[in-house]
Structure formats: C-alpha cells, structure tokens
Homo-oligomer: A and B are copies of this chain.
Amino acid sequence: MKEALPEINLKAIGTVRNEIKDPVWRPSEDVVSEIVVDSSLTEALDNLDEFSHIIVLYWVHKSPRRAPVKVRPRGNPENALKGVFATRSPDRPNPIGKSTVRLLERRGNALKVRGLDAIDGTPVLDIKPYMPGYDSVDDARAPSWVVKR
C-alpha cells in the first residue's frame, strides 16, 4: 500500500539568540540562550515560568534537506552506521530538534534558558512545559553505543 503523506506548513514562533554562530555538533550544555518569541504570542508564554524545565522544538535550519537514511552517531567516523531515526543526528528527514532545557527567566516575549542545543538564529517551532512522569521514563533502556551528548 502506498501512503499519501501530506505536506505541512509551519511558521516559526520565535528565534534562538546565543553566542554560537557556526553550526557545530553540540553546543555546550552550559550555553545560555534567549528564545525571542513573536510579540503576538507574548501572552502564550504566561505561566511557563512555573516550570523549572521546558521542551523546545526547533528547526535545524542549517541541515541539508537530503537526509541520509544511515548515519554515524555523533558524526564520529569510528562509529558504525545506524538508522537515522535511531540517532539524534540533525541530518534527518524533517530536521526538527528537541531539547529539554532549564528555564532561567521569562521576561515579556523572551525566555532565557540553559542547555539549548541550537545555534544563533535557529527558528523555534514550539515550546512545551516539561512534565515529570509524562516526559520521563523510569525504566528506559538504551544501547551501549549511546552516551549522553
């Protein structure tokens, strides 16, 4: 059966601002970024600062749009090829990044966060509160070739 898969149009809701100007594999966990949200959506950020952590979905705009089906994790040529959906490679069919970050401050339409894995100018697609229990798994298992960051 051939599926007819739809095309979907999004509009970014905001932009990442930080000191990371070049695409790199992994910005440091300590980088502080600002997410500047479109001013029409300022009130949509209300109550977010009642959460310690948020989930940011963003568009990896520097990713080539012809994604490979297999990649070497963390871009390391010594790593064996893995299916791209089994990795967090930014070079994926729809290059959407997901970072869980600490929310340091909300001021108007700007969020200051720590640990966002995105470079300056990255378009932001969605912001969600991190909900312990719903977003976390106690007994999750990952293979040994996965290391944190």
Contact = CB atoms under 8 A, between A and B. Distances in A.
A9 B123 CA distance: 13
Interface string A59-98: 1010000000110000000000011111110001110101
B100 A53 contact: no
A30 interface: no
Contacts of A6: 11-12, 59, 61, 123
B8 A10 contact: yes
A85 B143 contact: no
Contacts of A143: 47, 50-51
B129 A148 contact: no
Interface in A84-127: 84-88, 92-94, 96, 98, 100, 123, 125-127
A73 B134 CA distance: 15
A69 B82 contact: no
Interface residues of A, number: 69
A52 B123 contact: no
A137 B38 contact: no
Contacts of A52: 137, 139-142
A22 interface: no
Interface of A: 2-3, 5-15, 36-39, 41, 43-48, 50-53, 55, 57, 59, 61, 69-70, 82-88, 92-94, 96, 98, 100, 123, 125-137, 139-143, 146, 148-149
